[in-house]
Chains A and B, each alone.
Chain A
Amino acid sequence: MRLARPRLRMRPRTRDRELRLLTVVALAMGAGWVSLSSTRSGGLSIGDPVPVVCWLLAMLGVHVAFVISGRDLDQVLLPVVGILGGISLLFMERLPQGLVVQRFGDRTLMLGDLQLLWLLLGLGLLGITAISVRSVRWLREYRYTWAALGIGLLAAVFLLGDEVNGARLSVHIGPFSGQPSELLKVILVVFLAAYLADNRPMLARSSMRVGIIRLPPLAYLLPMLAMWGVALALVIIQKDLGAALLLFSVFLALLYIATRRGSYVVVGLVLFVVGAAVLYGVLGHVRARVDIWLDPWADPLGAGYQVIRALYAFGRGGILGTGLGAGLPTVDGVAAIPLIHTDFVFAAVGEELGLLGALAVGTCYLILAERGLRIAARAPDDFQALLAAGLTLVVVLQAALIMAANLRLVPLTGVTLPLISYGGSSILTNALVVGLLLALSDRTAVRGVPAPTARIARSAVA
């Protein structure tokens, strides 16, 4: 019997592009940090550079781990996470530290330190996921477990959740609190990818005629109705407009990617319009959001305060920005924008880095989109392709949604800016998503001997 050559899995593989890009990230962070601390101290200074150095060393550590692992992972994603996380760190160090205060024993951690902690944990999670996830087959096999887990998370939020800023999002267990809807997004994307990969040919082929449009038979529309129901439940029970909008749009995009049929998208948009109109009429909190968006000046010191403040922040920033540390953080001792570290962090970026900085951040998400969709296009099977596309869209659409809301292009829906906003759940979830995308980008298995054969061969040799 002809023996397959055993594959050496641990042979290091250099990653020049990644290292080059990381050098530029380090350069940018250095310039940003000196700029920030000089502005704050009134003289040329580097302040206390520990956080930035920690972040850069952690990036280097993950890079070295990737090199040693020998996997052929995408080389652009890590530097993009590095620049977004770095911008996040600069702003969290710069914003009023009292926005978030947590006590662990006798240590008190403030906004900047906490975010550094979350970013480092997130980076660790990203590295471990990217290196250790070698097959995503198990993700597909346990699809109904994921669906059940997702529903369980929804129920947990419903039963245990606290209402914060008019949305029931966080769950507190002991000293820890988290936002399950962040994780829910990832779980639902995994389930949807598995479901659509199973039923793709049926969904794509059969059709029934209604007037001039061809519709899929009713049985195949049921999942869409179910998804619509989940989205409505999110809005009604959790008052979580952002997650609902995001999940439904990712679902429609995945359905289109899986079937290439515009009719599904049309049906989905009709459902969306119907649902939005009904909810606008019935639910007070939905109406309030839309009314603020249409005319924030109706109540400039109350409901419309944040939105107006954000607009002024963008205006103050102009094209080049006021410079890091030179913006207007507080008015009469309170933060100018109450949620500037989470929902409105993009307004802070727009103020201090200007139009150019804001565009650079937007471009980073576009790069993330390009990379993720390319990983999807190169995936070996339908499940992996849909999974990669879904994970990418969940991050990028969320970024688009909140950036547009900051600019008053769409109503504010209360989602975080991925990898920049403060928050453990958000940082960890998005790091997990990028880690999974990295794992999906590995192509070593294609070129070498397929894994099962190699394993048999190794045991035969031994």
Chain B
Amino acid sequence: MDAFTLVLWALRIGFLICLYLFLALVVRTLWRDLRSAVSTAAPSVGRLIVVASPLGRPEAGTSIPIDAVTSLGGDINNTIVVEDPDVASQHGLLTFRGRAWHLEDRGLGAPMRVNGEPVADATTVHFGDEIGLGRVRLRLERPLERVDP
């Protein structure tokens, strides 16, 4: 076998090696991502993003992981304490039952709104919907697996 054939063979194999080097690096990245997602997974079924909160409770811009039952209101015993003149102490209940989210208004304060529409009694809500109590607006989002630093 002459030298040139050998060089050609090396180039061929070199190309394949480069391809697999690329794949190995990518797979390592994916694996690390998966590992960190598993280790930091929060046991929540959804999140509430505080879109607007004039009085700062809850703080605007924060993301609150929530469980299957979440009560909203001005009283300190609620899961999420909402401070606003129009919010009653026991204002509403957000629950995840079956495969859907439900929002119940306890009828003690101003009606809650979903995407700007007033809620009479109870309604289903979906991820991406915006819940309004008084001047506070919360957006329901899917649970986040991981928050990057």
Is the Cβ of A379 less than 8 Å from the Cβ of B61? no
Complex A-B: 7 CB contacts under 8 Å: A2-B60, A20-B25, A31-B11, A31-B18, A204-B100, A381-B127, A446-B147
Q: Which of B21, B29, B128 meets A383, CB within 8 Å?
A: B128
A321 at the interface (CB under 8 A from B): yes
Residues of A within 8 A of B (CB): 1-2, 4, 17, 20-21, 24-25, 27-28, 31-32, 34-35, 38-39, 42-44, 72, 75-76, 79-80, 83, 197, 200-201, 204-205, 260, 320-321, 323-324, 353-354, 356-357, 360, 363-364, 367, 370-371, 374, 377-385, 443, 446-450, 452-453
Assuming the contacts A200-B126, A450-B49, asked whether A44 and B7 have C-beta atoms less than 8 A apart, the reply is yes
Is the Cβ of B4 less than 8 Å from the Cβ of A43? yes
CB distance from B104 to the nearest CB of A (A): 16
A-B CB pair tally, cutoff 8 Å = 144
CB distance from A79 to the nearest CB of B (A): 7
A60 to B100 alpha-carbon distance, docked (Å): 45
Is the Cβ of A80 less than 8 Å from the Cβ of B26? yes
A32 to B8 alpha-carbon distance, docked (Å): 11
A205 partner residues in chain B, CB cutoff 8 A: 98-100
Give the residue name and chain of the B residue nearest to A322 (CB).
B12
How many residues from B make CB contacts under 8 Å with A?
46
Give the residue name and chain of the B residue nearest to A90 (CB).
B15
Is the Cβ of B30 less than 8 Å from the Cβ of A367? yes
* B residues 41-80 in Cβ contact with A at 8 Å: 49, 51-52, 54-56, 60-61, 63
CB distance from B53 to the nearest CB of A (A): 8
Is the Cβ of B11 less than 8 Å from the Cβ of A24? no
CB distance from A31 to the nearest CB of B (A): 4
Q: Which of A4, A21, A374 meets B25, CB within 8 Å?
A: A21
A457 to B124 alpha-carbon distance, docked (Å): 31
Is the Cβ of A83 less than 8 Å from the Cβ of B142? no
CB distance from B147 to the nearest CB of A (A): 7
Is the Cβ of B99 less than 8 Å from the Cβ of A72? no
Is the Cβ of A450 less than 8 Å from the Cβ of B127? no
CB distance from B138 to the nearest CB of A (A): 11
A379 partner residues in chain B, CB cutoff 8 A: 142
A75 to B32 alpha-carbon distance, docked (Å): 13
Q: Which of A360, A367, A447 meets B148, CB within 8 Å?
A: A447
B54 partner residues in chain A, CB cutoff 8 A: 1-2
